[in-house]
Chain A
Amino acid sequence: DQQVKQNSPSLSVQEGRISILNCDYTNSMFDYFLWYKKYPAEGPTFLISISSIKDKNEDGRFTVFLNKSAKHLSLHIVPSQPGDSAVYFCAARPSGNTPLVFGKGTRLSVIA
């Protein structure tokens, strides 16, 4: 039972344009959402997060939007740069002391 779903395995975007990565979840008890970025041969690194009490969080070129009624969140990268090419994982935290639940990841390729 995949509680966090990233339905697009891959995405290609031209340099300078907007990248939009999507994530859907099924568990309404998730209270915190995170995006991680992973380069080949490296571990995932934290990118940006959002609490369930907010609908938007911005950090430089990265913005995460949360739509609780639709159980959907998205990560916007503007403008996209070749160095953004990586696998992006959406993760959610159930309430309480329970581990993060990750999606399967979306591979972003930013083409120069």
Chain B
Amino acid sequence: KAGVTQTPRYLIKTRGQQVTLSCSPISGHRSVSWYQQTPGQGLQFLFEYFSETQRNKGNFPGRFSGRQFSNSRSEMNVSTLELGDSALYLCASSPRMTASSTEAFFGQGTRLTVV
């Protein structure tokens, strides 16, 4: 069974630009969560989708948005990039509504660098 796939793996963007990251969950999983990992803050929850609906949202500004498609694939978008957005963005998939159990599987992440 293929794991969680995140694309691209690495990305360099300039301040002010926007970026879209993609996550393909494990086949059959309908929940996708996004996390931001930075050295000083650990993993911080961004948002979670289940069956194309946003179920939970973390404490991030409106520049961060996401969506989920009917095939459960998810994208997150960050507009007007700031230097502080440089981080590893992780996606986790789960068969259940909330990826808050041992059934949450993480992708390898997308390393975003904003210059």
User: Which chain A residues have a beta carbon within 8 Å of chain B's beta carbons?
Assistant: 6, 32, 34, 36, 41-46, 49, 89, 91, 93, 97-105
> Is the Cβ of B108 less than 8 Å from the Cβ of A42?
yes
Q: Which of B37-45, B60-68, B73-81 contacts A (4 or more CB under 8 A)?
A: B37-45
- B56 and A46: CB pair below 8 A? no
Q: Judge if B101 is at the interface, Cβ distance under 8 Å.
A: yes
Bound Cα distance A110, B106 (Å): 24
Known: A43-B109, A44-B90, A45-B106. A99 touches B41 (CB 8 A): no
Q: Are B43 and A102 in contact (CB under 8 A)?
A: yes
B41, B48, B58, B100: the one within 8 Å of A32 (CB): B100
B21: Cβ under 8 A from any A Cβ: no
- When the two chains form the complex, which single residue of B58, B97, B101, B106 contacts A44, counting CB atoms closer than 8 Å? B106
Q: Given the complex of chains A and B, what is the CA–CA distance between A87 and B41 in angstroms?
A: 13
Q: Is B86 an interface position by the 8 A CB rule?
A: no
Is A43's CB under 8 angstroms from B98's CB?
A: no
Q: Are A43 and B108 in contact (CB under 8 A)?
A: yes
B107 at the interface (CB under 8 A from A): yes
User: What are the interface flags for B92-115 relative to A under an 8 Å C-beta threshold, 1 for contact and 0 otherwise?
Assistant: 100001111110111111000000
List residues of chain B with CB under 8 Å of any chain A CB: 4, 33, 35, 40-45, 48, 55-56, 58, 90, 92, 97-102, 104-109
CB within 8 Å for A104 and B41 given contacts A42-B108, A43-B90, A43-B107: yes
Taking CB atoms, residues of chain B closer than 8 Å to A105 are: 42-43
Closest 7 CB pairs of A and B: A43-B106, A104-B42, A102-B43, A97-B98, A93-B100, A99-B45, A44-B106
Contact B44 A97 (CB under 8 A): no
* Cα separation A15 to B40 with both chains bound (whole Å): 28
Task: Please give the distance in Å from A72's CB to the nearest CB on chain B.
Answer: 18
Which of B45, B108, B109 has a CB less than 8 Å from the CB of A100? Answer: B45
Given known A98-B56, A99-B48, A99-B99, contact A46–B41 (CB-CB < 8 A) = no
